[in-house]
Amino acid sequence: MRPPLLKYYRRITLLPAGISLLAVLFALVYDRLWGPGSKFEGQGLTDYAEDLRVILTPIISSLILALLSAMIFFNRFPAVRNRPFLSALTWFLLPAAWLSFFTRYFASTGYDVLITVLCLMLPYAVCLIRAFYRFRRALKAAAQP
């Protein structure tokens, strides 16, 4: 019996989305109370518009990653599931491309790339790798008589 892909899909979408949102909210609260944002004087965007942008960023990114991660359902086909390279491509190709684009975009806008990587990308990378490893291990266990 093959492992249920919906379980893995939830693990690579819901858990990192929640972690990312909480991390960004924590970073925002820290910035507003004790960090450089505590001395914010309303240049350019108002502080409310900036806060909204910071909160919406992980939400929108999570939705896009959820759509791109739907490619793991190609593992239902034996031609993909039985080839580890193709299986890995369905798990990692589009999410990795999005995360790469996301990092380059934020680096070009002057946004703090380290915060972006830690808060938004690291949870997805860790959950993707961990879920893929568990999926492949479950496939091997199911193939053994």
pLDDT band for 13, please (50, 70, 90 cuts): very high
Q: How do residues 99-139 score in pLDDT, each as one tens digit? A: 888 878 777 776 666 676 777 888 999 999 999 999 999 99
Separation of alpha carbons 48 and 50, rounded Å: 5
Is 0.75 surpassed by the pTM of this model? yes
How far CA 11 is from CA of 32, 69, 123, 130, 134, in Å, comes to: 31, 11, 11, 9, 11
- Model pLDDT, residue 43: 54
Instruction: Give residue-wise pLDDT tens across range 40-77.
Output: 555 544 567 777 877 888 889 899 999 999 999 999 99
Q: Which residues of 104-129 are buried (b: 16+ CB within 10 A; e: fewer)?
A: eebeeeeeeeeebbebbbbbbeebbe
Distance CA 8, CA 13 (A): 9
User: Counting Cβ atoms within 10 Å, is residue 12 exposed (0-12), middle (13-18) or buried (19+)?
Assistant: buried
Check: CB of residue 103 under 8 Å from CB of residue 33.
no
